[in-house]
Amino acid sequence: MPDHESLAGLAARLEALESRTAHQELWLDQLDEAVASQERRLQEIMRLNAMMQKRLREQQQALNDQPDGFDPAQELPPHY
C-alpha cells in the first residue's frame, strides 16, 4: 500500500504533466493560427503576383502593337 507522500508526489507529478499539456495545447493552437495566417497571406501574394504578371503582359502586348514602332530600349532617359 503506497504511503501518503508517494501519493502526494504522484499527484504533484500528474498536475505538472497536466499543466505542461495545457501549455503545449495553447502553443499548438497559436502555431496553427500563425500557419493559417501565413497561408492566407501567401495566397493573397500569389493572387497579386498573378494579377501583376497579367497586367505586365498586357502592357508589353500594347507596346508591341503600337503602329509607330516604339521601342522602349531606344528611348533616351529624361536627362538627355
Helix (H, G, I), strand (E, B) or coil at 34: helix
Q: What is the CA radius of gyration of the chain?
A: 32
* Per-residue pLDDT tens digits for 61-71: 988 887 766 66
Strongest mean pLDDT among 5-9, 39-43, 71-75 = 39-43
Say what the pLDDT of residue 53 is: 97
* Per-residue pLDDT tens digits for 29-57: 999 999 999 999 999 999 999 999 999 99
pTM equals: 0.59
Where do the domains of the chain lie?
Answer: 4-60
Report which of residues 77 and 71 the model is more confident about: 77
**80: part of which helix (H) or strand (E)?**
none
Contact indicator for 70, 63 with CB cutoff of 8 Å: yes
In whole angstroms, what separates CA 43 from the centre of its chain? Answer: 8
Contact indicator for 72, 64 with CB cutoff of 8 Å: no
